[in-house]
């Protein structure tokens, strides 16, 4: 349930703001990064109080996952399948969180083993899909840059022709 709530809340800037799609994409990633940093700091304080120093560096790694899950959700939005992207990111987030909840709530080796296997598969899938999730906005940004270069070149040529015709 946490994955569905968090991923949905991190997409709010994308859907609440109008205008440039890349700006909205960037705002959602900023929200994801800000959320992840705040969560990492708060959890790290709790870990430090309990004397779990080794857990603190792991919270830094979690920052990457929060941003990755949001990028995966936004990939769906950029392709016109926003709900599918949200669902994929939420499920991956849930798979990522699963071992923690199983270890806290269940005993026995089989549930723990199955949960770790599912979680590991989710992490591996996230690793492989996140490149594709960033490729679409990168491509859009590169196309925009090329368009701006063409516009600037055209303006230079028009200015040169205008200035050249004065003499």
Q: Mean pLDDT, to the nearest integer, of 17-28?
A: 88
Asked if the model's pLDDT at residue 106 lies above 60, the reply is no
How many whole angstroms from its chain centre is CA 19? 20
Please report the pLDDT score of residue 144 as a whole number.
92
CA distances from residue 142 to 21, 29, 73, 74, 136 in whole angstroms, order as listed: 14, 18, 21, 18, 10
Please report the pLDDT score of residue 163 as a whole number.
62
Comparing 9-18, 109-118, 131-140, which segment has the lowest mean pLDDT? 109-118
Return the SS3 of 106.
Answer: coil
Please report the pLDDT score of residue 110 as a whole number.
65
Asked if the model's pLDDT at residue 152 lies above 80, the reply is yes
What contacts 17, CB < 8 A, 6 or more positions away? 23, 24, 27
pLDDT confidence bin for 53, thresholds 50/70/90: confident
| Element at 101 (helix H, strand E) | helix 82-105
Asked if the model's pLDDT at residue 50 lies above 70, the reply is yes
Please report the pLDDT score of residue 109 as a whole number.
66
* Total number of domains constituting the chain: 1
Which tokens hold the place of 128? 């492989």
* Domain that residue 44 falls in: 2-165
Please report the pLDDT score of residue 2 as a whole number.
77
Q: Mean pLDDT, to the nearest integer, of 28-51?
A: 90
Q: Mean pLDDT, to the nearest integer, of 18-28?
A: 89
Residue 167 DSSP symbol: -
Tokens 């026995």 correspond to what residue?
Answer: 108
């Amino acid at each position: 349930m946490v994955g569905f709530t968090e991923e949905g809340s991190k997409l709010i800037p994308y859907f609440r703001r109008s205008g440039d799609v890349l700006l909205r994409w960037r705002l959602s990633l900023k929200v994801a990064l800000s959320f992840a940093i705040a969560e990492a700091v708060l959890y790290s304080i709790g870990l430090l109080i309990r004397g779990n120093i080794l857990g603190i560096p792991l919270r830094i790694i979690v920052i990457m996952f929060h941003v990755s899950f949001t990028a995966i959700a936004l990939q769906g939005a950029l392709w016109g399948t926003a709900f599918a992207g949200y669902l994929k990111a939420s499920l991956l987030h849930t798979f990522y969180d699963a071992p923690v909840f199983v270890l806290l709530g269940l005993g026995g080796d089989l549930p723990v083993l199955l949960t770790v296997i599912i979680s590991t598969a989710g992490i591996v899938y996230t690793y492989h899909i996140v490149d594709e999730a960033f490729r679409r906005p990168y491509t859009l940004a590169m196309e925009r840059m090329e368009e701006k270069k063409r516009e600037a070149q055209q303006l230079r040529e028009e200015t040169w022709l205008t200035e050249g015709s004065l003499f």
